[in-house]
Each structure stands twice: as structure tokens, then as C-alpha cells.
Amino acid sequence: MNTPPSRAVTPQVPFTVLGGYLGAGKTTLLNRLLHDNKGRRIALLINDFGAINIDAQLIESRTDQQINLTNGCVCCGLSDGFDEAIAQLLTSPTPPEHIVVEASGVADVHSLAQYGNTPGLTLDAVVVVADALNIRQKATDKYVANTVKRQLAAADLLLLNKVDLVSTSQRSDLRQWLQTLCNGAPIIDTTFCALPEALLLGDGTRPNRSDSAKDAAHPQNHPLNHGEAYVTWHYQSSDRLTQLQIDQFLQDLPNTVLRGKGFFNTSKGLLEWHQVGKQQRLTPAEPRQELGTTLVAIGLKPQLNPVELDTLASQHL
């Protein structure tokens, strides 16, 4: 068979779709990301009609179709379509390290996420923001009920935003009701969409990046915890695992694991693990001598209990 040239040499840029109905808090979240990008070049593709307000002092230059920020981030319009905008970003002299799509309030986020599987990109996650005050009403609205329910069902991670505006009992009712609609995606309570960047976009050191072997081999040196609201779990071993062991481990993983990544060492080579909320992916990885099984998982404190994961690992791995 005539196989296409290997694309493994090109780094795969993580691709995140950020959805949710009008007013849920997407813009707040994006502003946070762009303001505090931790040195990462983020490209924001704007699929919405509401312009996002960016501090004038953060703007380096702008054209009709692109705003360049002083911190290396860019915001792009989509007037020539997604494939064109993505192609331009990937061929630019400074390609982005992460692409985030701000989906319109009525977008089919599951369908948009498929661009994340096109060449040069890797789908990171579909993150959906719901407004705790009105999500129930929107889910029965004459016009948007189906659209909103479709978005919830497509979420890998669901942010239940504005939880400060509802009572504790309302909140737990809401969470229970949402749980079925979002097919078991983890639901994270937020206020003003405050969420550690590492949870939203990952920590930016993907295991298949050329410089990451070292990081992954020494995860304990990785600067993940800064007394933040989340907790990190590490696991390392040189044992060879069977597919059954891996499947059982992943199946039993609690949904307090918001993000997971790493490699499983099997007799057929390494399998790369990528997980964000309910999205779980195992793909064959290029051989790397020094690596055995190396796993990193993160979740919120105190929901994620590393001891629980240690037990799980010792049971299955």
C-alpha cells in the first residue's frame, strides 16, 4: 500500500475546542488564558460574533484577520474557513504551541473538534462552560434546547460556572442533573471561570515533544505543583504490561482524574496515553529506549486522592 509520508517529524499542535451557550463565561476564560499564557504561544480561533476584549497594552499589532499580542499569542478570524486558518497558523514562522477555538454559542462542538484530528494537530479536549444560573432553562428553551444538550453531551470537561450565585443544594441538584446529560464527563465548579491553566490546556510539555523525554523521565522535577488547587500523581515502572492490564487500569480510573498522559510499556512497544475528562486515547508511540511506563495524572484537591491511584496501579499494573 502507498502510505503517505510520515508526519511524525512535525510536532502535533494540541487543539482545544471551548464551547458553551452565550453568556456562560467563555470570554472570561479566554481572557484569562491570553493574559496569563505562561510563555506559551496560544493561537485563538474565534468562531463567535462577540469580539473578545483584550487589554490595549497587550496588543502588539492587528490586521483585519489577526491580532498579535506582545506575549506571542494570536487571535485569528475565520473568514476563509477553518482549514485555511489552521493551515496558515501551522506554516507560520512561529507556529502556535496550542490552538484554542472559541466556538459560537450554538456551534456543534463535537463536529468542530474533528479539526483537531486533521494533519499537524492533535485533539486535546472539548471543554464546555455552563452557566449555573440558566443552564437548566436553556436546556428546555424552545430554540436552543437541543443545541445546548448536544454541547453538554460532547464535553470532555464541563465547567459549571457562576456556582457562587446558586445555593449549595441547588448546586448539587444541578451537578446530578448534568451528570447524565454530559455522559459522565467530570464537572468542575468555577467562579469567573477560575481554573488552573494546567487543567484547561495541560502543562504544555507533551511527552512526544522532542525535549520532553527528559521531563517525562523525571516527572518529580516537573514544576506542576505550586501550592495550587490541583494535585499531581506520578507513576513509573519498567515492567512490561499486557493490554488487559492497561484496559482494566484505565477503566477503573476515577473521573476525578481530569487530565492524564504518559506511556505504557508493552511487549509491542510503547503506547501513548492521553486523557482529558472522559476523552481517553491510546496510540502507538515511537520507541524510546530510556522509557518504561511513565504516567502523570492531575485533578483537583481534595477530590483526587493520589493514594487511591497508587492502589489502583498496584492492583492492575
Partner 1 sequence: MNRIKIYVARAVITMNPSNPQTTHVAVRDGLILGAGSLAELAPWGDYELDTTFENHVIVPGFVEAHAHVMEGATALMPYLGYFDRPLPDGSIAKGIKSYDELTQRLRELDAALDASGAAPNEPLIARGFDPIYFDDQPRLTLTLLDEVSTTRPIYLYHASGHLATANSAMLDLDGVSKDTQVEGVGRFTSDQASGKLKGDLNGELREPPAMSLCKTGNRAVFLANASEPALWNFGASARNAGITTCTDLAGGLVLSPRSKDMWQRVTGDDSFPLRVAMYNIAAMPGLNADFDDAAQKVLELRAEETDKLRFPGVKFILDGSIQGWTAMIKAPGYISGEDHGQLLTVPDQLIDWLRPFHKAGLNVHMHCNGSLTQDLAIETVEALLQEHAWLDHRHTITHAQLTTQAQLRKMARIGLCANFFANHLWYWGDQHYEHTVGPERANQLEPCASALRERVPFALHSDAGVTPLGQLHTMWCAVNRVTPKGRMLGKLEALTPEQALRAVTIDAAFVLHLDDEIGSIEAGKAADFAILEDNPLTVDPMSIRDIRVWGTVLGGQPHPAARPATGA
Under the rule (CB under 8 A), what is the footprint of partner 1? 2-5, 7, 22-23, 46-51, 62, 64-67, 75-79, 81-83, 104-106, 108, 110-112, 114-115, 117-119, 141-144, 146-147
Nearer to partner 1 (CB atom), residue 82 or residue 228: 82
Nearer to partner 1 (CB atom), residue 123 or residue 174: 123
The one-letter amino acid code at 77 reads G
CB 98 within 8 A of CB 40: yes
> How wide is the angle at C-alpha 106 spanned by C-alphas 103 and 108, nearest 5°?
70
Nearer to partner 1 (CB atom), residue 111 or residue 225: 111
Of 185, 184, 130, nearest to 160 by C-alpha is 130
CB of 24 to partner 1, least distance (A): 12
What are the helix (H) ranges across the chain?
26-35, 82-90, 109-113, 135-138, 145-154, 168-181, 197-201, 212-217, 243-252, 306-316
CB of 222 to partner 1, least distance (A): 28
Cα–Cα distance measured from residue 210 to residue 226, given in angstroms and rounded to the nearest whole number: 25
CB of 73 to partner 1, least distance (A): 14
CB of 117 to partner 1, least distance (A): 4
CB of 151 to partner 1, least distance (A): 11
With cell 500500500, the residue in question is 1
Nearer to partner 1 (CB atom), residue 141 or residue 197: 141
CB of 272 to partner 1, least distance (A): 13
Nearer to partner 1 (CB atom), residue 68 or residue 255: 68
Residues 68-96 as b/e (b if ≥16 CB within 10 A, e otherwise) read bbebbbbbbeeeeeeeebbeebbeeeebb
> How wide is the angle at C-alpha 112 spanned by C-alphas 187 and 32, nearest 5°?
55
Nearer to partner 1 (CB atom), residue 69 or residue 199: 69
